[in-house]
Homo-oligomer: A and B are copies of this chain.
Amino acid sequence: MDYKDFENCGLKKALDMLSGKWKPMILYFLFYQGEFRFNDLWRSIPRISKKVLMEHLQEMVGNDLVIRREVNGFPSEVRYALSRKGKALGPVLSALDEFGNTSNLN
C-alpha cells in the first residue's frame, strides 16, 4: 500500500462518508428500526444535538446513504431511511458491534 492507495483507496472514501461522531450509530439505528421522522430520531439518540443530527443527516443524504422523504402537511413531516447503499453498510456495522461485544473476552 503506497502513497496513492492511502489517498484514493476505498477505505478512505468509506471513512469519509462515516466521519462524524454519530453517523455509524444513526445508520445502525435506521438499519434496525427503519424509517424515522426527524424529531423521533432525535429523541431516540441521547445526547446528540439537533444541529449535529441535522448536519449528519444532510451529509449522509448527500452521500446517498440516507433518503429524505418529505410528506406534505402541517406540521411538516420528514422521514429519513436508509438507501440501498446505506443498507449495504448494515452487515459491516453489525460486524463492528459484534467485535465490540466480544473483543474484551479474548
Residues of A with Cβ closer than 8 Å to B?
Answer: 1-3, 6-7, 9-15, 17, 24-25, 28-29, 32-33, 44-46, 64, 84-85, 88-89, 91-93, 95-104, 106
What would be 24 A-B contacts, judged by CB atoms less than 8 Å apart?
A1-B28, A1-B32, A2-B44, A3-B46, A6-B25, A7-B46, A9-B97, A9-B100, A10-B97, A11-B24, A11-B28, A11-B96, A12-B25, A13-B103, A14-B99, A14-B103, A15-B24, A15-B96, A85-B106, A88-B99, A91-B95, A92-B92, A92-B95, A95-B95
Q: Do B24 and A101 have beta carbons less than 8 Å apart?
A: no
Partner of A13, one of B7, B24, B89, B101: B101
